[in-house]
A and B are shown apart, each in its own frame.
Chain A
Amino acid sequence: MSAQAPVAPAPVEGAAPAATFEPVIIGFTCNWCSYRAADLAGTARTKYPPNVRLIRLMCSGRLDPTFVLKAFAEGADAVLVTGCHPGECHYIEQNYKALRRFQLLQRTIEALGIEPGRFQLVWASAAEGVRLANEIARVTEEVRALGPLNWPAGDIVDIDGVDLDAAWEATGGDAGEPPETPGGVNPDHAAAKLPAAEAAR
């Protein structure tokens, strides 16, 4: 919850030692600036760590907060949002909207127990291949230091088509006793079941 994330990752059952922890990072790029910066980094053979996996959106303004929560729920250790520099948006001003959403979502994510360092925003113009590569390297190192995202790993692998509300009620619903929460999950997080559950569609 705190911004001061533990430098050493909490020991996770069966997890590799911190030294060899390789995070998986989802990076959202915009079609006009940052995706092109990634292309340029490629053309110029600028090296960066292979931990980031990029998704192309037309604009950073397209970034639905659900996408970020989905990435965390699916096992990403961090999410990187990239776009054109403020004032240089291909769609005039939509990256400002992305910036607003980013700041709100940053707080939501912190409330969900995710260190803010796992959700970062980087501007890169189409000409800044090297800058983007450097930022990816920086974020990778920071996330490596944070360790794996310590949301509890579970075995619910197929909830498609399951009526979660009914299942919830079947367990006694909100009136039930708070259960043991493995993995140090804050019981407050029960309140967050909706976004996460929806994200996991």
Chain B
Amino acid sequence: MTAEHSHLPAGNASSAGLPAEGDIRIGVYVCHCGSNIAGVVDVAEVARWAAENLRDQGVVVARDYKFMCSSPGQELVTDDIKNLGLNRIVVAACSPHLHENTFRTATARAGLNPYLCELVSIREQDSWVHTDKAAATVKAKAILAGGVERVRRNEPLSPMTVDINPATLVVGGGIAGISATLELADAGFKVYLVEKDASIGGHMAQFDKTFPTLDCAACILTPKMVTAGTHPNVDLLTWSEVEKVEGYVGNFTVTVRKKARYVKEDLCNGCGVCQEKCPKKVLDEVFEAGLGYRKAIYTPFAQAVPRTPVIDRPNCTYFEKGTCKACEKFCETNAIDFTQEDTVLTLEVGNIIIATGYDLFDARKMTQYGYGRLPNVFTSLEFERLSNSAGPTNGAVVLRDGVTEPKSVAIVHCVGSRDRNHNNYCSAICCMQSLKFAHLVKEHTEATIYDFYIDMRTAGKGYDEFYQRILEEGGIFVRGKPAEITDVARTPDEEGKLIIQVEDTLVGQQRRFPVDMVILSSGLEPRADAKELAVRFGISCSFDGWAIEKHPKLDPVATMTEGVFVAGCVSGPKDIPASVAQGAAAAARVLGRIQMKKMNLEPIKATVHAEHCSGCRICNTMCPYNAISFDDVKGVSSINVAMCQGCGTCVAACPAGAISGTGFSDEQVLAQIEGLLRIGADGTPLKRTAYPVAHREEIEEAVRA
């Protein structure tokens, strides 16, 4: 370290001597970030300018260094704090969202309050977005001056410490949610697993095989489902939805609506006689993708966890006509209860993992492929059910008539993905899913298989090997996105077939392929209610609707909201291994929090200064968290620090200026504006506006006198 340190050229430090005013002693550090900043911004000039021009603001030393975030870079700061008696630090480098913590920690190491360190962004907001070097250098100076003016008004703060409730809420019982749940429960902590459907299992429970190993999906999933359902640390809340989330990391209060099942869970032994006796058959649009039937009282599938069925109220004869009660008559444990109502539970948890998964792209939107119009066009999920030995056809791959085995099958990739009319993104799993379908068709039938792809994307362990295997099995691969699927024949051999019209881009020709069956490999989409969900949990989602991670690469399961994590497809299309890994990763992040027992929170809070408060109560209605209350006796408002989220809206609203915002005070922001406007676009001092008052000259004279 010290050897590195000595490499610092002497010329890199400009000393501006003692500060002119008070005892503010600011150190300024300008980072090169290799060439990321230094390639566009003249960093040495920025440091020199700061030392020379911001001396009156208290700048004692200004340095530039190749990588401020490196150990020697941080040592520059800590050494200067000790040797030069600095009491304020400004680092001009990358976004504070990346390295604010690094430099605050370094500042604290040197014995200075970490909140006396400011990080200003001259990379994301300057060198990376501008090409004009002179203008970018001027802007860097202005940004730095803003930081210097602001840091002068920074106050030493101590973080608020909160206790972490060791219980966790997992939302969504698919493979990602189950994986997170089991990691946490096995570690000995309470988990509430909330699932909106009647059973956990998610999409994976609908699949027959999983790529590339061709493991039976049920065989690997159901043991995990059963463990989650019986684990002493897991409170399984199926047929339930999260309605409201309040509080903050460590101390969330979650309202969950447990929908009426009309079956008492404590009495039901899961014998299934009610389902047998129920006279009402209902088309199963969800689990069987519309290919099979269930009863009005049902569990979605045989291995459902929990085994307790639910009564589908809109389809139940008793609820419809007032008579029937067949299920009640035959239930040996008297578990049926038609009077049951929704219950609302309040859960106290410390952390939340959102694993709500995806919706399948609705293939009806691509009318040219005829799904919903041409009976033998199937979606990927329908095919999953067809090929599943526990599915509606017991695993027979047949046409819509239920008996005819197809002699030729077309599999169309990228349906709704990589398509400007629908979703620009690649759904990541469809190529592999299509290859799996090709194999399954081969396994179940004698059919010829055509695969229509744009590009084959088989990145993953064992994935390309699987592709090679399918090629060897004899699938025919045509590179081209089908333009149309039609039943209008042009030649006798096309009669009665579905014809794929496609430009084979490897041959450079339009071709027509008559087939018996088409499988559309539909892409993945965010849940229809993704945006409402994001608002409910206080996280953000992209334009598409996928949840945004704290960092897409380095923090893929955290969100910007402390204590709320994401796992699986809620943040974008993922295959099963990635979803499982994310579930475990989110659990690991939560376990870390639980292990800490306490956590420091940013002390960004609002406070009412009672002596200035006139009791007007304007602020009272500003707070969406109800953190502001009014004291009738004293006639003033006050803010509950634990409930305050630090948005600062009340600070801006107070007409008396009686509310101050820690970390973003009026003084800090106004000073930063002054600093940012210290120089104009050309780098020369910017002229402040004279106040448009009458008698300006006389006033100026009076001021001079």
Interchain CB contact under 8 A, B700 and A70: no
Bound CA span A47–B130, Å: 6
Bound CA span A47–B136, Å: 12
Bound CA span A118–B682, Å: 20
From B534, B560, B682, B699, give the contact of A167 (CB < 8 A). Answer: B699
Interchain CB contact under 8 A, B691 and A196: yes
Interchain CB contact under 8 A, B696 and A47: no
From B126, B677, B696, give the contact of A24 (CB < 8 A). Answer: B677
Q: Is A32 an interface residue (CB 8 A)?
A: yes
Q: Is B490 an interface residue (CB 8 A)?
A: no
A44 CB to nearest chain B CB (Å): 8
Q: Is B266 an interface residue (CB 8 A)?
A: no
Interchain CB contact under 8 A, B669 and A55: yes
B198 CB to nearest chain A CB (Å): 31
Q: Is B666 an interface residue (CB 8 A)?
A: yes
Interchain CB contact under 8 A, B689 and A153: yes
Q: Is B596 an interface residue (CB 8 A)?
A: no
Bound CA span A66–B135, Å: 28
Q: Which residues of A contact B136 (CB under 8 A)?
A: 50
Q: Which residues of B contact A153 (CB under 8 A)?
A: 687-690
Interchain CB contact under 8 A, A53 and B647: no
Interchain CB contact under 8 A, A154 and B649: no
- The size of the chain B interface, using a CB distance under 8 A, is 74
A45-B128, A88-B535, A170-B702 given as contacts; is B542 within 8 A of A179 (CB)?
no
A88-B540, A167-B702 given as contacts; is B97 within 8 A of A75 (CB)?
no
A73-B688, A171-B698 given as contacts; is B129 within 8 A of A94 (CB)?
no
Closest to B677 in A: A74
A26-B677, A53-B676, A200-B691 given as contacts; is B647 within 8 A of A62 (CB)?
yes
Closest to B661 in A: A62
Interchain CB contact under 8 A, A74 and B695: no
Bound CA span A32–B564, Å: 14
Closest to A14 in B: B687
Number of A-B contacts (CB under 8 A): 257
Interchain CB contact under 8 A, B694 and A176: yes
Interchain CB contact under 8 A, A42 and B652: no
29 A–B contacts, CB within 8 A, in A order: A24-B677, A36-B97, A39-B97, A46-B129, A50-B130, A55-B146, A58-B646, A58-B663, A59-B648, A62-B648, A63-B652, A67-B669, A73-B691, A74-B688, A90-B560, A91-B647, A113-B692, A127-B542, A155-B700, A171-B698, A176-B695, A178-B694, A179-B697, A181-B694, A187-B694, A189-B693, A192-B692, A193-B693, A197-B691
Bound CA span A196–B670, Å: 13
Q: Residue-by-residue, is B81-103 near A (CB-CB < 8 Å gives 1, otherwise 0)?
A: 00000000000000111000000
Interchain CB contact under 8 A, B540 and A55: no
Bound CA span A76–B663, Å: 24
Interchain CB contact under 8 A, A54 and B688: no
Q: Is B680 an interface residue (CB 8 A)?
A: yes
Closest to B542 in A: A127
Bound CA span A178–B693, Å: 10
Q: Is A125 an interface residue (CB 8 A)?
A: yes
**Which B624-647 residues sit within 8 Å CB-CB of chain A?**
624-625, 645-647
A8 CB to nearest chain B CB (Å): 19
Bound CA span A114–B123, Å: 32
Bound CA span A49–B129, Å: 8
Interchain CB contact under 8 A, B677 and A94: no
Q: Is B529 an interface residue (CB 8 A)?
A: no
A58-B604, A74-B689, A154-B696 given as contacts; is B95 within 8 A of A39 (CB)?
yes
From A43, A70, A91, A152, give the contact of B649 (CB < 8 A). Answer: A91
Bound CA span A63–B531, Å: 25
Closest to B142 in A: A53
Closest to B602 in A: A58
A62-B647, A167-B702 known; 6 new pairs, CB 8 Å cut-off, are: A36-B97, A45-B129, A90-B561, A94-B622, A94-B647, A170-B702
A57-B669, A157-B688 given as contacts; is B677 within 8 A of A71 (CB)?
yes
Q: Residue-by-residue, is A14-51 near B (CB-CB < 8 Å gives 1, otherwise 0)?
A: 00000000111010000011011011011101111111
Closest to A98 in B: B649
Q: Which residues of A contact B653 (CB under 8 A)?
A: 97
From A63, A128, A154, give the contact of B691 (CB < 8 A). Answer: A154
**Which B667-682 residues sit within 8 Å CB-CB of chain A?**
669-670, 672-674, 676-677, 680-682
Bound CA span A113–B691, Å: 12
Q: Which residues of B contact A181 (CB under 8 A)?
A: 692, 694, 696
Interchain CB contact under 8 A, B670 and A67: yes
B77 CB to nearest chain A CB (Å): 21
Interchain CB contact under 8 A, A57 and B535: no
Q: Which residues of B contact A151 (CB under 8 A)?
A: 689-690, 692
- Give me the interface of A with B, judged by CB distance under 8 Å: 22-24, 26, 32-33, 35-36, 38-39, 41-43, 45-51, 53-59, 61-67, 70-76, 84, 87-88, 90-94, 97-98, 101, 112-113, 125-128, 133, 149, 151-159, 162, 164, 166-168, 170-172, 176, 178-179, 181, 185-187, 189-190, 192-193, 196-197, 199-201
A57-B669, A58-B647, A170-B702 given as contacts; is B535 within 8 A of A73 (CB)?
no
Q: Is B488 an interface residue (CB 8 A)?
A: no
Bound CA span A133–B121, Å: 16
Q: Is B325 an interface residue (CB 8 A)?
A: no
Interchain CB contact under 8 A, B677 and A43: no
Q: Is B566 an interface residue (CB 8 A)?
A: no
Q: Which residues of A contact B646 (CB under 8 A)?
A: 58
Bound CA span A63–B102, Å: 28
A42 CB to nearest chain B CB (Å): 3
Closest to A149 in B: B689
Interchain CB contact under 8 A, B540 and A90: yes
Interchain CB contact under 8 A, A26 and B128: no
Interchain CB contact under 8 A, A62 and B664: yes
Q: Is B465 an interface residue (CB 8 A)?
A: no
Q: Is B615 an interface residue (CB 8 A)?
A: no
Q: Which residues of A contact B690 (CB under 8 A)?
A: 151-156
Interchain CB contact under 8 A, A154 and B688: yes
Closest to B128 in A: A42
A87-B535, A159-B703 given as contacts; is B664 within 8 A of A154 (CB)?
no
Q: Which residues of A contact B695 (CB under 8 A)?
A: 168, 171-172, 176, 179
From A51, A61, A168, give the contact of B681 (CB < 8 A). Answer: A51
Interchain CB contact under 8 A, A41 and B548: no
Interchain CB contact under 8 A, B124 and A41: yes
Bound CA span A51–B645, Å: 32
Q: Which residues of B contact A112 (CB under 8 A)?
A: 692
Interchain CB contact under 8 A, A88 and B531: yes
B252 CB to nearest chain A CB (Å): 15
Interchain CB contact under 8 A, A39 and B692: no
Q: Is B610 an interface residue (CB 8 A)?
A: no
Q: Which residues of B contact A66 (CB under 8 A)?
A: 666, 670
From B126, B651, B676, B703, give the contact of A162 (CB < 8 A). Answer: B703
Bound CA span A38–B96, Å: 12
Interchain CB contact under 8 A, B692 and A200: no
Bound CA span A158–B703, Å: 9
Q: Which residues of A contact B674 (CB under 8 A)?
A: 70, 74
A9 CB to nearest chain B CB (Å): 14
Bound CA span A39–B695, Å: 46
Q: Is B125 an interface residue (CB 8 A)?
A: yes
A75-B686, A176-B695 given as contacts; is B125 within 8 A of A54 (CB)?
yes
Interchain CB contact under 8 A, A33 and B124: no
Interchain CB contact under 8 A, B129 and A61: no
A80 CB to nearest chain B CB (Å): 13
From B541, B673, B681, give the contact of A74 (CB < 8 A). Answer: B673
Closest to B685 in A: A75
A70 CB to nearest chain B CB (Å): 5
Bound CA span A88–B666, Å: 25
From A41, A62, A88, give the contact of B652 (CB < 8 A). Answer: A62
Q: Which residues of B contact A166 (CB under 8 A)?
A: 702
Q: Which residues of B contact A155 (CB under 8 A)?
A: 690, 700
Interchain CB contact under 8 A, A75 and B691: no
Bound CA span A166–B699, Å: 9
Interchain CB contact under 8 A, B698 and A170: yes
